[in-house]
């Protein structure tokens, strides 16, 4: 009796796999009818050609375009609406979905609580949102290309990849351009954004109301801000690069308990035609953000290296390299801040001190700002007086009588050389409160 029971159990376990089938579809077939009739685990494989319409996936299936098929949504609605978990979408070209941002029109749109999705190696081009995921878990978005419509105003385009109320999502190896924001994350946690490239956008990566996320090794260029991190906490932001931004390399607004380290920021400069008083390119703009670690970043050729304001205190700043920035630090506060940790300060390209004991640290502290700087921030038109004898005399008086110097930033151990990765001995560990579980993979078979 044991053998028949085992045989029946084995058949029961493998029955879904045995019944899964591949459905080959041509442009002359009714694709929606085939999607509706497909069973769990089936593969719907599209032949070459353009498939017109707005399609809904209600079953846990694989839809593959084999790199030869195109979904054309006809300028309205979602191109693909996912209403089930355990769906794999791959190797499709998706174009011409709707432009109604209020209706959240998207190339690929997941309905609420669609879990265990894989969206990979697709090419999307359209007006609205590229990929919109909401309220799901255990999702992978890998190797996709999303391109918006540059003829529209930035505000009228959707975001490239949008995560809303999701958990345990991996967004890796995607390229996003000419949308509004590249990757937009709101009210989401325990997600990883890694090795993505974003360019010609408003913001490369934009965070809102999220926590315990990792942002690793991404590239943003030709943006207004490479990384806009807002109203979030416990972010680990490491190994990213932003270049050729107009307003901000990194914008941090109400960010707490986060680690911003080993990032590279270069060439943050407001275009001459967009110049107005007070608008300067800022490598790091830290607004109303505290209890963060900012370490081992490189800020190179920004109009202002780092600007802290609105109560941005209790921040650990060390091991960074501030190079070729006309204004290294703009600090608006009534408290002095020490920017070193356990004898490790920052590298400043305009530090003129010396290192007589040859320990790699300057023998005199570096204080990047004084009362004259604050005067210039308040009255930018006074810049014409910077080289005047009167200003030089005021600076000298401040040095001789420190009591006249306003509170600002002080680096007691400025580094004499640019720190390398091997110098990273004090970096704080990621502050995630949960170990991310492995995300189950799926295959087209």
What tens digit of pLDDT does each residue of 139-157 get? 999 999 999 999 999 999 9
Q: Where does residue 160 fall: left (phi above 0), alpha (psi -120 to 50 degrees), or beta otherwise?
A: alpha
Give me 388's structure tokens. Answer: 């005047």
Instruction: For residue 309, name the pLDDT band (cuts at 50, 70, 90).
Output: confident
pLDDT confidence of residue 138: 97
Give the model's pLDDT for residue 432. Answer: 41
CA atoms within 13 A on the CB side of 250: 31
C-alpha distance from residue 300 to each of 176, 278, 282, 353 (Å): 25, 20, 11, 20
Using DSSP's 3-state secondary structure scheme, residue 198 falls into strand
Residue 272's pLDDT is what?
Answer: 83
3-state secondary structure of 26: coil
Please name the residue ranges forming H helices in 286-427.
371-378, 389-400
- Cα Rg for the chain, rounded, in angstroms? 27
- Average pLDDT (238-265) is 97
Q: What's residue 15's pLDDT?
A: 46
Q: What is the pLDDT of residue 132?
A: 98
Contact 289, 266 (CB under 8 A): no
Cα 234 from Cα 404, distance rounded (Å): 38
CA separation for the pair 129, 181 (Å, rounded): 10
% the chain with pLDDT above 90 = 71
pLDDT of 381? 53
How many other C-beta atoms lie within 10 A of the C-beta of residue 99? 18
* Through-space distance between the first and last CA atoms of the chain, rounded to whole angstroms: 34
CB 71 within 8 A of CB 49: no
Confidence of residue 407 (pLDDT cuts 50, 70, 90): low
CB contact at 8 A, 330 and 308: yes
Residues in a beta bridge with 129: 106
- Render pLDDT for 271-292 as a digit per residue (tens, 0 to 9): 888 888 778 999 999 999 999 9
> Two tokens at 311?
């109560």
Is 355 or 331 the better-scoring residue by pLDDT?
A: 355
> How many whole angstroms separate alpha carbon 436 and alpha carbon 433?
9
pLDDT tens digit string along 176-216?
999 999 999 999 999 999 999 999 999 999 999 999 999 99
9: left (phi over 0), alpha (psi -120 to 50) or beta: alpha
Q: What percent of the chain has pLDDT over 70?
A: 81
Coil/strand/helix, residue 339 = coil
Structural element, H or E, at residue 337: strand 337-338
Q: How far is the C-alpha of 226 from the C-alpha of 208, rounded, in Å? A: 15
Pick from 335, 327, 321, 336: nearest CA to 278: 327
Q: Provide the token pair at 432.
A: 């995630």
Closest CA to 250 of 280, 217, 285, 215: 285
Distance in angstroms (rounded) separating the CA atoms of residues 307 and 113:
40
CB 21 within 8 A of CB 44: no
* Residue 155: C-alpha distances to residues 12, 37, 178, 224 (Å): 53, 40, 11, 13
pLDDT digits (tens, 9 = 90+) for 34-92: 999 999 999 999 999 999 999 999 999 999 999 999 999 999 999 999 999 999 999 99
pLDDT tier, 243 (very low <50, low <70, confident <90, very high otherwise): very high
Q: Write out the two tokens for 81.
A: 């609406």
Q: What is the pLDDT of residue 70?
A: 98
């Amino acid at each position: 009796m044991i053998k028949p029971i085992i045989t029946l159990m084995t058949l029961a376990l493998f029955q879904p796999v045995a019944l899964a089938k591949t459905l080959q579809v041509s442009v002359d077939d009714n694709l929606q009818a085939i999607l509706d009739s497909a069973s769990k685990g089936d593969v719907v494989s599209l032949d070459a050609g353009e498939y017109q319409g707005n399609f809904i996936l209600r079953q846990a299936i694989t839809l593959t375009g084999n790199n030869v098929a195109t979904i054309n949504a006809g300028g309205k609605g979602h191109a693909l609406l996912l209403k089930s978990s355990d769906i794999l979408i791959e190797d499709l070209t998706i174009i011409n979905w709707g432009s109604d941002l209020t209706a959240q029109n998207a190339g690929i749109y997941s309905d609420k609580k669609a879990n265990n999705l894989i969206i990979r190696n697709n090419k999307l081009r359209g007006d609205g949102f590229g990929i919109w995921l909401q309220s799901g878990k255990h999702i992978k978005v890998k190797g996709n290309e999303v391109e918006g419509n540059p003829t529209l105003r930035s505000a009228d385009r959707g975001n490239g990849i949008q995560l809303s109320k999701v958990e345990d999502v991996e967004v890796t190896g995607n390229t996003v351009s000419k949308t509004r924001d590249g990757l937009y994350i709101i009210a989401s946690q325990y997600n990883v954004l890694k090795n993505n490239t974003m360019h010609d956008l408003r913001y490369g990566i934009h965070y809102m109301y999220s926590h315990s996320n990792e942002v690793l090794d991404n590239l943003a260029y030709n943006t207004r801000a490479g990384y806009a991190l807002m109203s979030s906490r416990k972010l680990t932001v490491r190994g990213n690069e932003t270049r050729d931004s107009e307003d901000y390399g990194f914008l941090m607004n109400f960010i707490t308990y986060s680690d911003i380290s080993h990032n590279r920021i270069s060439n943050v400069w407001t275009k001459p035609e967009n110049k107005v008083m007070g608008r300067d390119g800022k490598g790091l703009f830290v607004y109303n953000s505290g209890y963060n670690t900012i370490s081992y970043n490189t800020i190179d050729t920004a109009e202002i290296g780092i600007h802290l304001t609105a109560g941005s205190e209790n921040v650990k700043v060390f091991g960074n390299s501030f190079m070729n920035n006309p204004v290294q630090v703009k600090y608006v506060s009534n408290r002095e801040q020490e920017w070193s940790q356990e004898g490790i300060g920052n590298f400043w390209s305009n530090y003129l001190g010396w290192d007589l004991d040859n320990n790699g640290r300057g023998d005199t502290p570096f204080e990047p700002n004084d009362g004259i700087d604050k005067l210039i921030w308040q009255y930018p038109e006074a810049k014409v007086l910077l080289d005047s004898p009167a200003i030089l005399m005021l600076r000298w008086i401040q040095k001789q009588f420190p009591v006249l110097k306003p509170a600002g930033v002080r680096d007691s151990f400025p580094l004499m050389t640019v720190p390398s990765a091997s110098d990273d001995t004090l970096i704080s560990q990621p502050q995630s409160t949960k170990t991310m579980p492995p995300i189950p993979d799926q295959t087209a078979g």
